[in-house]
Amino acid sequence: MADFNIKEIQSLKLKIQVLEQLTVVGLVTAVIGFYHDWSTLYVFLLIAVCGFQIAKWRFKKSLKQKEYLAKMVEERTIELRVQRDKVMKESKELSIAMEALAKAQDELVRNERMATVGNLTKGLLDRILNPVNYINNFAELSINLLKQIEQNITGEDTVMSKENYEDTVEILAMISGNLNKIAEHGVNTVRIVKDMEELLKDLKWHMVPADINNLCKVNLDIIAKQFENEIKQHNIKLNFSRLTLSLMIEMNIEQMSKLLIHLMKNSIYAIGRKAARESYEPQLSVELEKLNSSICIKVRDNGIGIEDNIKDKIFEPFFTTKPTAEATGIGLYLCREIVLNHSGVIKVESEKNKYTEVSITIPIHQNTEDNG
């Protein structure tokens, strides 16, 4: 009901009450005047009472109209509110549906991209891998043959001319160097092909409940053992901030372990690079935090950090800042795929030469129909 209607109705009711009181006063006074023979006052009071009644009748009529209009306005307002609530509910449902559609479209695009990569790669893997294996094997065999030749000509400088002997030794050294390069790049090529095979694997798997505290601690212990020499050399401090209570998370244990191991390996690498050029107190931290119906895993190091101009590229396949002999650029891409298949989000915050923090947020309970 509008404020102005309420005020007008209240004003009319007040006027009617005043007129009713004036009418009573006028009638009582008129009766007194009749007994005391106040004829003039008696007539005046009767006329006044009649005027009060006429005014009261008009006010009541106006009040009835105002109350009717107010009721109509109130009913219409309620109807509009119901319609508004219905529209808001439908709008919210539409928004949820649009978000679900966008998510489904993103998933479809991602799956199509993976399928495209798979179709292009499957036909190439064997055709690349077999020749490369031949190259590696013959390179290794040739290196061994060269060593035998070098042994055979050892001491032959007395038979051969000095110039021919030196040229032969130099040529053998050059051939050996070339073959070692061929073998090195051949091994790198095999590793790239193997990583491409990893891309083709179906990352949809059965989820099982697992203790997130134990999972993180076990993988941190694996890193501590695997990089024991580097940790001692650089005096790296490993920190683990666990949840106060045990919490079971639905996940694929194997893939989540690969994810954590890769992120911690990257941290060890970043710390090693920084420790090689300056003295500082290196730290690698794994922190767990419960966020309503999700769990957040943070892997943080105070190594070399990530430059701002490449932050948007780090999850692209085959992008890496490491030398080719050390990485192929598949790791972080697969990490993101693992997180996405856990219906989660992965974010990276970093400042050059100060720190890098990777945050992984995944729901505690998974939709097993989608991931089973």
- Euclidean distance between CA atoms 178 and 247, whole angstroms: 55
Residue 369 has pLDDT above 50, yes or no: no
* Residue located via tokens 């097993």: 368
Which tokens in the block code for residue 360?
């992984």
Instruction: Give me the pLDDT at residue 229, please.
Output: 94
State the average pLDDT over residues 20-27.
Answer: 73
- Return the higher-pLDDT residue of 91 and 15: 91
Contact 355, 267 (CB under 8 A): no
pTM listed for this prediction: 0.58
Is residue 3 predicted with pLDDT exceeding 60? Answer: no
pLDDT tens digits along 327-368? 667 788 889 988 988 989 999 999 999 999 999 999 998 765
| pLDDT (average), residues 156-163 | 71
Instruction: Find the Cα–Cα–Cα–Cα dihedral 97, 102, 103, 104, rounded to 10°.
Output: 90
> What's the confidence (pLDDT) of residue 166?
80
Question: pLDDT (tens digit, 9 = 90+) per residue, 35-55?
Answer: 666 666 666 766 777 777 787
For residue 319, pLDDT beyond 80: no
Q: What confidence tens digit (pLDDT) does each residue in 106-121 have?
A: 777 766 766 666 666 6
165-214 per-position pLDDT tens digit: 788 888 888 888 888 888 888 887 787 777 766 666 655 567 899 999 99
pLDDT of residue 306: 92
- Note whether 357 and 305 are within 8 A (CB): no
**What confidence category does residue 4 fall into, taking pLDDT thresholds of 50, 70 and 90?**
low
- List helix spans (H) across the chain: 3-35, 39-153, 162-200, 212-226, 228-234, 253-275, 331-341, 368-371
Binned at pLDDT 50, 70 and 90, residue 1 comes out as very low
105-109 own/partner pairs: CB under 8 Å, 24+ apart = 107/340
How confident is residue 162, by pLDDT bands cut at 50, 70 and 90?
confident
Nearest Cα to 306, choosing from 269, 333, 360, 261? 269
Q: How far is CA 141 from CA 35, 130, 148, 183, 185, in A?
A: 145, 17, 11, 10, 16
Q: Do 238 and 224 contact (CB within 8 A), yes or no?
A: yes
The pLDDT value recorded for residue 118 is 62
Give the pLDDT score at 122: 64
List pLDDT tens digits, range 228-283. 999 999 999 999 999 988 899 999 898 899 999 999 999 999 999 999 999 999 99
Closest by CA position to 270, among listed 249, 300, 238, 309: 300
- Reported as a single tens digit per residue, the pLDDT across 296-315 is 999 999 999 998 888 888 88
pLDDT tier for residue 370 given thresholds of 50, 70 and 90: very low
On whether the CB atoms of residues 274 and 280 are closer than 8 A, the answer is yes
